Structure 1
Amino acid sequence: MRLLGVVRYAFLALIIPAILSTIWLYLYPIAKNCHFPAAPSSYHGVAPIRLLALGDPQLEGDSSLPDPNAPLFPGLVGLRHRLWVEPLDKAARLARRAIKDIVTRDIPRYVQTQRKRLDLLGNDYYLAHIYRTTKWWTQPTHMSVLGDLLGSQWISNQEFDRRADRFWNRVFVDAHFWKHKAEGKELEDVHGWDFLDMANASQAPALLNVAGNHDIGYAGDVDQRRIDRFERAFGQVNWRIRIPHAVPQSNLTTELHLVNLNSMNLDNPAWNQDLYHATHEYLDQVINDTHTRSPRDAVILLTHVPLYKPAGICVDPPFFSYFEPRHGGGIREQNHLSEQSSGKILNGLFQQSSGEKRAGIVLNGHDHEGCDTWHNRFEADQEQWNHTRYSATNKTATGIREVTVRSMMGDYGGNAGLLSAWFDADAAVWKFEYATCALGKQHIWWAIHIVDFVVLALGLASVILSLLELARGRNVTLDEEKKNK
């Protein structure tokens, strides 16, 4: 049978590329040599703190789809009644127009809607593949999504809940957010925002979620309702986790502070001044408490909006836009924090009460292209911070590194950030190193799975056609035997 030969040839031609590409897809962190930066030999090369950082997944939903309650073919709505009451010639014109609308408008719209639904489904599994595969291979002790978990702050509560359900049950399947007081055996609640981590986090690391503008809005439109629903689904918007650390081959003990800061209403003008002041009160409390801690302690700041830097360092330049006065006049959009807010963070969290620098690093999202910045001051009493692109030469300088993690969305290559932290006993300071691991654009994920589906279909078709050919051959044999008799 000629068809069987064609199917078998296509199957044999595709089976090896399909197997190899699928193996690569599901083992891509190994193929790309993705790993957390190595720690010194005193840690046997494995950093005690390994943070998997993911930026801006932005799960979309019904806001990108037509109204689900709208009729499938609007051109047919009321058509039966009009055809019944109108004269024959006018009814014929109405019928022709309805058919034209269905063919040229309704059917293409329906096809586009189904394509978008499939795209949303595939995007969820693409993001899930990045998370699941990278986590499996790199074995992080901590994980964080750096804001814009969802794609819009304007969605209804029902749509918010649907996207949150997809977030936990389709994308980040085995993850859970930091439950704070609910995990009493793991935590010692100090201030309501300050928690001492007494658990072995690497056994089941919580997902530390940061609030972004597409989750709760910018300062000009964020309100308590949005914050409440975010905290209900993803955890608090402001908190600090202190991780005790006993330095190997030493009697030293120190702590690493994971600080989550809601940067969405750090700058004015803000729509809700109570929320604005609450954020600054929290930041002031963290700063004041940090100044009482050991100078050996270090800070990892997790936030969404990047710190201020001049144009030319990152893809996004400094930018602010505002709502009209009749809508409150608050911040409508911003690329960076203001220079004043950035200075407060750098001077407060990364400077000891003595004026000496405190070790640390800043991780954020928002700029989907990603960026790597070095903030430093030549003199301890210098008021202004200098901002440059980070390079290896900065490792010996005194300053703070800020990594804007490139988005994990397909258009930006499906990126994941890998941060290693360890305490250098010789220098008596925490050290930080950062690496990336990117799957590639979503078309790679789609293409490999489509080829796999085609190969499976060809294999099944080959089996069916072979059985039919075998049955046909038996029938021919039986017919010949009957003739011979």
Structure 2
Amino acid sequence: MNLDTPVYAPTLQTDTYNFINNVVGSSYPVEQSGVFTVLLTHIPLHKVHGVCSDGPLFDFHESAEDGSFPHGIREQNHLSDAASRGILESIFGKSSSPIQPGGGRGRKGIVLTGHDHEGCDVYHFINQTSPDPKWEAQRWPAAQAQGIPTDPSLPGLREVTVRSVMGDFSGNLGLMSLWLDEAGEWQSGFANCRAVRAWVWWVVHVADCIALAVAAVWGAVEFYASSAGSNGSNGSKRRVNRVARAGIRAASMRSSSADRSDMGNSSGSDTSTLSSGQKKSLRRKRSKQSMRDDLGAGKRQLSDVLEVPE
């Protein structure tokens, strides 16, 4: 990703090229068929417009007064043609000259890239028989149909831009396979594994949103109902307690009044002939009757508060 110029930090680009040179210098000879190279990178190799969903795009930071770009590249969705050619001809040893080691066919391998969410599967190749050989790219199925990967005069390399794993792109995953054939040479295969359909992804997320909304509304209603019920119950209890206390006080006051009345009446002509025991019995009867009357009044008040029939 730090191969093209201009760059904001030249030292980082220098480190990148030093790394590539170390890889090339320590690699096995291109003639050795028992080696398979897998290059993982984010920015795809160069392709002309129309081969994949995304075409080449370079965007730079604002230029300086002298017309240079001191802050380098701001955005790119492909490597430049020169950077792509450098990768194919250095790391993989591909060449337009058939007199190069291995006939210019280079090392076996594959490039796995990203960035383009739609995904793309292409074959990069160069025609050794052309008077002006240039790197070209075709879709992998079309290249296979034309027999380009098996043509000795068309050395090339497959590049797979893995489709995005996001739901809008069917939750795609890439499955790559490597195996040794009967001749002891490495062979490779790649397949896209789409986990879900796009509409399934949307249905699941919409259902989740609806469930969350219903749960929130239900919780709010339950909380409001419980709060209102608690307040009403406490108010009713307080009213009942007040009425009960009022009834008890009234009963006590009437009992005392009845006792005093009995004591006053005991001097009258009606009770003058009664003995002291009979007078006490009469006072107790009057007191009990007064308490019954007060309790009846209290019950009626409670019935009014609770709104139930007596």
TM-score (norm 1): 0.36
For the residue of structure 2 that corresponds to 1:396, the secondary structure is coil
1:434 aligns with 2:193: no
Which residue, out of 310, 315, 332, partners 2:74?
332
Q: Give the CA deviation at 1:429.
A: 2.4
**Residue 342 of structure 1 pairs with residue 84 of structure 2:** yes
Structure 1 segments unaligned to the other structure (5+ residues): 1-263, 457-485
User: Which residue is equivalent to 1:373?
Assistant: 122
Please tell me whether residue 400 in structure 1 is matched to residue 150 in structure 2: no
Task: Give the whole-Å Cα distance in 1 for the aligned partners of 2:50 and 2:27.
Answer: 33
Secondary structure of the residue aligned to 1:376 is strand
Q: Which has the larger radius of gyration?
A: 2
Contact 2:110-2:158 at 8 Å conserved across structures: yes
C-alpha distance in structure 2 between counterparts of 1:425 and 1:452, whole Å: 56
Alignment of 1:26-41 (within 5 A): none
Name the counterpart of 1:267.
4
Alignment of 1:260-299 (within 5 A): 264-292=1-29, 294-299=32-37
Q: Is the 8 A contact 1:270 1:276 kept in 2?
A: yes
* SS of the residue 1:418 aligns to: strand
d(CA) in 2 for partners of 1:449, 1:432: 41
Contact conserved, 1:266 with 1:276, CA < 8 A, in 2? yes
Report the alpha carbon displacement of residue 448 of structure 1 after superposing the two structures with TM: 6.0
Q: Is the 8 A contact 1:356 1:380 kept in 2?
A: no
CA contact (8 A) 2:105 2:156 kept: no
- Alpha-carbon distance change, 444 to 280 in structure 1, aligned in 2, over 3 angstroms: farther
Residue 387 of structure 1 aligns to a residue whose secondary structure is: strand
Matches of residues 70-89 of structure 1 in structure 2 within 5 Å? none
Partner SS, residue 408 of structure 1: coil
Quote how far apart the aligned CAs of 1:396 are: 3.3
Distance, in Å, in 1 between the alignment partners of 2:188 and 2:204 is 32
Q: CA deviation at 1:450?
A: 6.4
SS at match of 1:278: helix
| 1:380–1:362 distance in 2 versus 1, CA, 3 Å | farther
Which residue identity lines up with residue 445 of structure 1 in the other structure?
V
Question: Percent identity among equivalent residues?
Answer: 38
- TM-aligned CA deviation for residue 443 of structure 1: 1.1
Instruction: Tell me the C-alpha RMSD between the 2 structures.
Output: 2.9
Amino acid at match of 2:88: L
Q: What are the residue-to-residue correspondences of 1:6-405 with 2, within 5 Å?
A: 264-292=1-29, 294-326=32-64, 328-351=70-93, 353-354=101-102, 355-379=104-128, 384-391=134-141, 392-393=144-145, 394-397=148-151, 398-405=155-162
Contact 1:421/1:431 (<8 A) preserved: yes
- Cα gap change, 1:430/1:309 in structure 2, threshold over 3 Å: closer, same or farther? same
Residue aligned with 2:27, SS = helix
Distance 2:39 2:140 in 1: 17
SS of the residue corresponding to residue 267 of structure 1 reads coil
Count of residues in correspondence between the two structures: 193
Distance 2:186 2:22 in 1: 23
- Provide the rounded CA distance (Å) in 1 between the counterparts of 2:42 and 2:209: 35
Match of 1:411 in 2: 168
TM-score by length of 2: 0.56
Give the conservation status (yes or no) of the 8 Å contact 1:300–1:363.
yes
**Unmatched tracts of structure 2, length 5 or more:** 95-100, 216-310
Deviation at 1:290, TM superposition (A): 1.8
Question: CA-to-partner distance for each residue in 1:236-260, whole Å, 9 max, x for gaps?
Answer: xxxxxxxxxxxxxxxxxxxxxxxxx
Q: Which amino acid aligns with 2:35?
A: D
Point out 4+ residue stretches in structure 1 off by more than 6 angstroms: 450-454
State the AA in 2 paired with 1:423: L
Tell whether the 8 Å contact from 2:127 to 2:134 is kept in structure 1 after alignment. no
